[in-house]
Structures are given as structure tokens and as C-alpha cells.
Chains A and B, each alone.
Chain A
């Protein structure tokens, strides 16, 4: 049997599953990166607090820790698995690829995660109860453990772009070649830098509420130094990161990113530096509201575009440069015994290879053409293209208003099915599938023309469901 393991598709017409995943992931990045940076900050502050006998530092750790308990360790620990949940429904084979490559890494991260949660409760609820050296020891364990969670996840994030050492991984497989590569370390360093930026901004929310003005100024100034320097370091690492990306990612960036992207990132950086300068020179101006807005600005203007770019530049793949965004395996991975599914689709088409394809639509007829076309669009296109007028990259916008079925079909068979469209996966379509999909796409802009096509003589192929001559 020529089956490929495609799952049902979840299609959300209003905003698209991609944006749902992106929204949850972006929020999680804010929570998690802030938590890691703060954990390391806590270790440093606990050390200074012990060395210089400064109980106010322990008190700050307690306050910031309590804030993080909800901000990062409740919301963060829900949105973390939340990314799994959203990718499970939005891209099941994408998350499956990551899980089956890196299950032990995630399980290892889970061990650290358990330690982290115990640690944060202890730092909050045993502050003042533990003698200082023990408190510091707990803080150091918390800080180190927190950073290991980032170490554990970053290679997985990197694999989404490409395997660490692509040639070796494709040839030999294995965890190490999948996880570690130049991109892994470039990404790790950038994330490390920005996590301190986020920690400094979010820390301002807590520090702004301190009653002791002298300590508050001391602390805010140090947060400003940490935040400002880390933002500069993070940006200066960007060229290194770009240098580790595959050539196709550069092509996408040159051709597909909106013009406003680079200026907007520079504006955000400038605004951040201005914020930290204000924090340093005029700490009195920092209130919880101001710091809260700065946090929101990072989320909306910094993290969201950053995550969007990360998602865009790995197209047409969703993981490891072998799994297309539409869930089809596009390349062999001999090292892992994985076979491309393109030949199967070329042989029998989606209608006969897809496990969940309705029996009544396996043969395409004049009557079911539109339904088959819609199902093909849901299956092969909707992960990246909304089928409605709203949501992520609406499909109808990629075809001229007056495009006729024949023209669309020609494009589908000539450029898409052969894999000759940049950023797009190769989507092999049988002749009748291409016609059905073309009819559906045409109907998005001009339903009457699509219906007229179905009524006309040019659909002779559709009256003959037999594919034997194709095979």
C-alpha cells in the first residue's frame, strides 16, 4: 500500500494555525528567557548578599522570585507545553520530528525543570529562614539549572532551521549531529544576551516598587547596565548568527521580509537603549507601569518580529531541512532510514496516499471536484496559506484576480509539482488533482468562473476518474 502518514489537518480560517503557534511561542519566550536570566541574576545577588551582608538583596530576590513564580513558573510552564499542544494541532509531524529526534533532551530538560520549580519556591518561601550560605547555594543551583534548560532547548530550536551538521546528520543520523552545529552556538549566545535584557526590563517592574530609595537606585542602575550591555552584545552577535544560516534562509530574508523589518528592529534597539539610559540616569522615572510598557514593547516589537522571521526563513521546511511545512517528507535522510514521500505522491497522489482521505473522494469526478480541491488546499497549502481573506498569507492573494483554471493548473503542474518555486515545497499533484486544486483556487477570487469551468467541456478529464494511464 502506498500510504504516507499524513494526519488530519486543523484549519483555522480567521487567523490560521501558524499565528496561534506563533502567539503562544512568543509569549513563552518572554516568560522563559526572563526566568533564566533572572535565575542567574539571583545567584549573583545572593552571593553579593552573603559576602557583603546585605539582607535587602535577599529581600529583592524574594520579591522578584514571587513575581516570577506567577509570571514565568506558572504562565511560562503552561505556555511551554502550550507550544507542544499548539504545534501538535498545527503541525503534528513537525513536533513529531523534534520529539523523535530529541526526546531524551526534552526529558533531560524536564529533570532540570523540576529542580527549577523546587528552587524558585525555596528562594521565595525560605528567604530569611535559611542561613545565608545555604540560601546562596540554593540560588546557585537554581541559576545553573535554569541555564541548562536553555542549553537543552536551543539545539532543538536550531534543528527546526536545519540539523546542526546537515551533511553528517543526513548521512549518519544521530542526536549529536542533529543537535549541535554552528547555528546552535550562535543562537545560544544571542539568546543568552537577550535573556539578560529581558530580565533587566522585567526586573524593573519589581524594583520600581522598592521602598528604600537608595537601594532602589543602586539596583535599577545595575539592571540598566546589565540590560544595556546585553542588548548591545546581542545585536553585535547577529552577523555571526546570520552567517550560520543556510543559503536559502538568506534568499528568503532578501526577498520576503518586509522593508520595515530592519528599521523596526533598530528602532526597538534604540528605544531599549534609551530606556536603559533613562533607568541609569533618572531611576526615579522608572515605575512599574513604565517597566510594564517596556516589557510589552519587547514582546510586541522585538520578540514577535524575531520569532516571525525565524519561522519564515526556514521555509519551505518546518524541521531539519527534510520535512516540508505541509507535513510531507521532502528528502531522504539515509542516516535515519527516512524516505522522501515525494515519489509516493507522484505515483498515487494525495487522494490515494493520504491516510485520512475520504473514500468518496479518492476518485475525482465533476461533482466532487470542488470538494477535492478544497481538501487538497487544506492538506497541502493551509499550513502556510489561509484559504480565507484573513489570516496568514491568504492563498487568493498569490494569484491574479483574473487567473483562469487552466493558467493556475499550468502553474501547479509546471512549477509547484516539480519543486521549482522558491520557498515553496515540492507539491506533486496528479493531473486531476491539479485541476481540482486549480478550480478551488480560482473559486477563491471568482467563484462564478470556477463554476463555469466545471460546467464547460474543458473538464473532460474530470469525467474519467481512471488513473491507470497515469500510473
Chain B
């Protein structure tokens, strides 16, 4: 598959803004998505660990982690929509080909994810009050995690297949005979897959520091439990980072010859450094971990680390597709559309900013409040502003729409 063929596969419509915008949005939203996936996998694993334990702290943690996993799966799915959208905008030749060549797995992804999520919810429904009640049907959570790993593997394979356009023709028409069944997974890299999955361990470890700070905000009295969280979080952060780094080295050492130089370049080193800093950050904070809002800082640092990791992943794609195959996503034809571009950024930055700030503030403060929660006047104003912005959005929709449709 030569460069001209790859360019021929691009959509002739072009894209409505500069490709760099889609590239950045793709990386940023993928980082958030994979972080949510890590929290999902990590919290599910801790829930299983705690569900089989007789230790009070572990059972209490399992109880909390089931709730975390339940929300994390929703967050992972909803955030995951964005990178799925943006990859199709500038990498459409690669994404569509890779998907079609493994079509059954792509369809399977949907149904397996549904079963996995429902299985997780079954465990949640059966295990209210896990701290004091006996664990019921722990197998359901184990099955859920295994199925989540399967869907993760499918996504991994599709991403790897994207990077091997010189193999596509052979995959589609082995020995010249077209195989349109889409039943095969054609390429995967267990080091790479293992690396991204292993990151669940340090991520959930750091997440525990945030959970610990949340409990402190609610005047948690069980200092033993807080200490347990700190100890467990530190251990998971350290061990998990070590495992992830070993897998990262394995991935980098196995890179194809034509991009082997990438392994010793800036990005893998930056990613490794970011992960080490994120894992060590709670220790670096020392006593400040228990002061003010510092307790949440590890999550912020871990988020930055995930963005660095996501950028490294994008860099691998860049050096492969541009460096080896000559495909430059940044020279995509632009059919600039100011209205829809502007509307998105206003919706995202202004409307979304106001409404999400309001909702999360209310949810957060309500969680920290005993009894009924009443927001402050300032918080109320943000909520009212959010409603006004939503009404304005609807008004402009009909305004521009009716004018365009009937004028």
C-alpha cells in the first residue's frame, strides 16, 4: 500500500477545521478515556480482592470500589466517544480499513461490552453493603473484568492494525483471493497491550489518594482506614509503575526496525519519567498530603502523566504513518466551517464549562455534607447561567435552522 493509495482513501469532503485541532482533541480525550478505563479496571480488581477478604478495611474498600467501578464504566464509555470520533476525522483511511478487516470483532465489541457492563451491574446490585454483608456471586465481577479485557484487546488490535498498511492487502486478499468475512484479528502486540492495561495498577493506586482525601473532607474518623488507603495506594503506585515500565521497555524493544530509533527518543523517556513522578508524588508531598486540597494533587499529576503517555502513543502513530508510510495527517484538505467550529468551542468551553462546573460542584459538596444539601448563592448562579445558556443554545439552533431551511 503506497502513499498515493493511502491518500486516495481519505474522504474527499475534507475537514471543517485545521487537522491539528482534531489531533490535539483526539490525544487529550483519549488520555481521559484511558484514565477512566484504568480506574474501571483497577477498582474492579480491588473490589474482587476485597470481596474475597475477611479484613474489614479490604471489605470496606471493596464496597467503595464497586461504586467507583459502576460510575467509571459510564465515564469510560461516554468519554470514549470523543477519541472514537476524532480518530475517524484525520486517520479515516487507517481506522476504517482496520475495522473492516476485523468486522466481526468490531461488532463483537459492542455485544461483549454490553454483557460486561451488565455483569458488573449484577455484581453491584447483589452486593450492597459489602463491608458487612457476605459476598454474593463474586464470579460476576470476575467475568466482567475478563470481558472488559477482551474489549480492550479488540480496541488494541484495531489500533495496531492501523499501523501496518503494508500488510492490509495480504490480510484482505491472501494469495489474491478476497476474504471479506472480517473474522480475523490480524495483528496485536502483547507488550503494548500489557503496558496500557498494567497502568491500571498505578492509576488506581493514585486514585486511592483522592478517595482518601474525599473521606478526610467528610471528617472520616477511622484513621486506620485512612492509613490503609495510603499504604495500599503507595504500594500499588510503586509496583504498578514498575510493571508498566518493564512492559514499556518490552514494547519499545520490539518496535519495527524502521522506527526502532523511537525507543531511545524523547517520548518514551518522557512517558516513563511522568509515570515515575506521578507514582512518587504522594511521597514527595509528605505531610502536605493531609493539608488543604493537596490530597487531590496526585490525581492532577497522574492526569498530566496520562496525557504524556497518550502523546507518546500518538507519536508512535506519527513516526509510523508519516515517517514510514508518508501519510501526513496535518495536510488533510480543510473545508473551513466557522459556524460549526465556533459553536462547538462555545458549547464546550462556555456552556459545558458552566453546566459541568455546576453539576460537579453540587455533587461534590452534597457528598461532603451531612443531611440535606443547599448550594451557596454563587453556585446557584452558575446553575441558572447554565440553564440560560442551554436555552440560548436551543434558540440559536432554531434561529439558524429555520432561517436556513425556509428563507
Q: Please give the residue numbers on chain A whose beta carbons come within 8 Å of chain B beta carbons, in ascending order.
A: 1, 3-5, 7-12, 17, 20, 24, 69-70, 73-75, 77-82, 84-86, 88-90, 92-93, 95-97, 99-108, 110-115, 117-119, 121-122, 126, 128-131, 134, 137-138, 140-141, 144-145, 147-148, 151, 155, 164-165, 173-177, 179-182, 184-185, 329, 333, 336-339, 355-356, 358-361, 371, 374-375, 378, 382
Which of B6-14, B54-62, B228-236, B279-287 makes up part of the contact surface?
B6-14
Closest residue on chain B to residue A372 by CB atoms = B178
Whether B176 lies near A12 (C-beta < 8 A) is: no
Give the number of residue pairs across the A-B interface with Cβ within 8 Å.
300
**How close is A190's CB to chain B, nearest CB, in angstroms?**
15
Q: Note all chain A residues with C-beta closer than 8 A to B335.
A: 173, 336-337
Known contacts A12-B181, A107-B25; can you find 14 more A-B pairs with CB under 8 A?
A8-B172, A70-B121, A80-B81, A88-B95, A88-B100, A104-B344, A107-B82, A107-B344, A108-B344, A130-B366, A176-B400, A185-B402, A329-B12, A371-B177
Bound complex: CA A371 to CA B74 (Å): 46
Whether B78 lies near A77 (C-beta < 8 A) is: yes
Q: Which of B77, B110, B176, B390 is A358 in contact with, Cβ under 8 Å? A: B176
Closest residue on chain A to residue B333 by CB atoms = A337
In the complex, whether B374 has a CB less than 8 A from a CB of chain A is yes
Bound complex: CA A58 to CA B330 (Å): 51
In the complex, whether B393 has a CB less than 8 A from a CB of chain A is yes
Closest residue on chain B to residue A83 by CB atoms = B110
CB interface residues, B 370-404, toward A, < 8 Å: 372-375, 380, 383-384, 386-387, 390-391, 393-394, 397, 400-402, 404
Whether A378 lies near B14 (C-beta < 8 A) is: no
Q: Note all chain B residues with C-beta closer than 8 A to A78.
A: 77, 110, 113-114, 117
Q: Note all chain A residues with C-beta closer than 8 A to B121.
A: 70, 74
In the complex, whether B351 has a CB less than 8 A from a CB of chain A is yes
CB interface residues, B 340-371, toward A, < 8 Å: 340-341, 343-344, 347-348, 351-352, 355-356, 358-360, 362-363, 366
Q: Which of B118, B363, B400 is A74 in contact with, Cβ under 8 Å? A: B118
Q: Note all chain B residues with C-beta closer than 8 A to A4.
A: 8
In the complex, whether B71 has a CB less than 8 A from a CB of chain A is yes
Whether A81 lies near B84 (C-beta < 8 A) is: yes
Whether B5 lies near A137 (C-beta < 8 A) is: no
Counting chain A CB atoms within 10 Å of each CB, the highest count among B96, B352, B393 belongs to B96
Whether B85 lies near A114 (C-beta < 8 A) is: no
Whether B114 lies near A175 (C-beta < 8 A) is: no
CB interface residues, B 86-131, toward A, < 8 Å: 86, 88-89, 92-93, 95-97, 99-101, 103-104, 106-107, 109-110, 113-114, 117-118, 121
Whether A131 lies near B374 (C-beta < 8 A) is: yes
Q: Which of A110, A134, A175, A185 is B16 in contact with, Cβ under 8 Å? A: A175
Whether A177 lies near B404 (C-beta < 8 A) is: yes
Whether B74 lies near A77 (C-beta < 8 A) is: yes
- 27 A-B contacts, Cβ less than 8 Å apart? A8-B172, A8-B178, A73-B74, A74-B73, A74-B74, A74-B114, A85-B106, A88-B95, A97-B11, A108-B344, A110-B82, A111-B347, A115-B352, A115-B355, A118-B360, A126-B373, A134-B373, A134-B380, A138-B362, A175-B339, A175-B340, A176-B400, A185-B405, A336-B12, A337-B14, A339-B12, A356-B172
Q: Which of B4, B25, B344, B352 is A114 in contact with, Cβ under 8 Å? A: B352
**How close is B162's CB to chain A, nearest CB, in angstroms?**
12
Whether B337 lies near A100 (C-beta < 8 A) is: no
Bound complex: CA A182 to CA B403 (Å): 11
Whether B103 lies near A12 (C-beta < 8 A) is: yes
Whether A10 lies near B103 (C-beta < 8 A) is: yes
Q: Which of A121, A173, A182, A361 is B176 in contact with, Cβ under 8 Å? A: A361
Closest residue on chain A to residue B349 by CB atoms = A111
Q: Note all chain A residues with C-beta closer than 8 A to B344.
A: 104-105, 107-108, 111
Whether A121 lies near B74 (C-beta < 8 A) is: yes
Q: Which of B92, B362, B387 is A96 in contact with, Cβ under 8 Å? A: B92
Label chain B's interface by main secondary structure. helix
Whether A358 lies near B394 (C-beta < 8 A) is: no
Which 9 residue pairs are nearest across A and B when measured between Cβ atoms? A360-B176, A89-B103, A10-B103, A104-B340, A92-B96, A11-B180, A82-B110, A180-B404, A3-B8
Whether A148 lies near B393 (C-beta < 8 A) is: yes
Q: Note all chain B residues with C-beta closer than 8 A to A148.
A: 390, 393-394, 397
**How close is A342's CB to chain B, nearest CB, in angstroms?**
14
Bound complex: CA A32 to CA B362 (Å): 26
Bound complex: CA A137 to CA B393 (Å): 17
Counting chain B CB atoms within 10 Å of each CB, the highest count among A134, A165, A374 belongs to A134
Bound complex: CA A358 to CA B176 (Å): 5
Whether A129 lies near B373 (C-beta < 8 A) is: yes
Q: Note all chain A residues with C-beta closer than 8 A to B406.
A: 182
Bound complex: CA A211 to CA B82 (Å): 42
Q: Note all chain A residues with C-beta closer than 8 A to B15.
A: 100, 103
Q: Note all chain B residues with C-beta closer than 8 A to A1.
A: 4, 8
In the complex, whether B80 has a CB less than 8 A from a CB of chain A is yes
Bound complex: CA A257 to CA B88 (Å): 34
Bound complex: CA A371 to CA B88 (Å): 32
Q: Which of B4, B101, B351, B366 is A126 in contact with, Cβ under 8 Å? A: B366
- Of the four ranges (under 10, 10 to 19, 20 to 34, 35 or more), the interface on chain B belongs to 35 or more
In the complex, whether B182 has a CB less than 8 A from a CB of chain A is yes
Closest residue on chain B to residue A73 by CB atoms = B74
Q: Note all chain B residues with C-beta closer than 8 A to A147.
A: 394
In the complex, whether B75 has a CB less than 8 A from a CB of chain A is yes
Given A3-B8, A134-B373, decide whether A89 and B106 contact each other with a Cβ distance below 8 A.
Answer: yes
Whether B5 lies near A145 (C-beta < 8 A) is: no
Closest residue on chain A to residue B375 by CB atoms = A134
Bound complex: CA A144 to CA B80 (Å): 23
Q: Note all chain B residues with C-beta closer than 8 A to A177.
A: 404
Whether A144 lies near B394 (C-beta < 8 A) is: yes
**How close is A393's CB to chain B, nearest CB, in angstroms?**
17
Q: Note all chain B residues with C-beta closer than 8 A to A128.
A: 372
**How close is A390's CB to chain B, nearest CB, in angstroms?**
15
Whether A5 lies near B8 (C-beta < 8 A) is: yes
Q: Note all chain A residues with C-beta closer than 8 A to B339.
A: 174-176
Q: Which of A70, A104, A140 is B337 in contact with, Cβ under 8 Å? A: A104
Whether A129 lies near B337 (C-beta < 8 A) is: no
Whether A100 lies near B372 (C-beta < 8 A) is: no
Q: Note all chain A residues with C-beta closer than 8 A to B340.
A: 102, 104-105, 108, 175
Q: Note all chain A residues with C-beta closer than 8 A to B110.
A: 24, 78-79, 81-82, 85-86
Given A81-B81, A81-B84, A358-B173, decide whether A378 and B178 contact each other with a Cβ distance below 8 A.
Answer: yes
Q: Note all chain B residues with C-beta closer than 8 A to A371.
A: 176-178
Q: Note all chain A residues with C-beta closer than 8 A to B355.
A: 115, 141, 145
Given A5-B9, A88-B95, A337-B12, decide whether A141 and B180 contact each other with a Cβ distance below 8 A.
Answer: no
Bound complex: CA A181 to CA B406 (Å): 7
Bound complex: CA A111 to CA B384 (Å): 18
Q: Note all chain B residues with C-beta closer than 8 A to A140.
A: 387
Bound complex: CA A141 to CA B178 (Å): 51
In the complex, whether B188 has a CB less than 8 A from a CB of chain A is no
Whether A151 lies near B394 (C-beta < 8 A) is: yes
Whether B394 lies near A100 (C-beta < 8 A) is: no
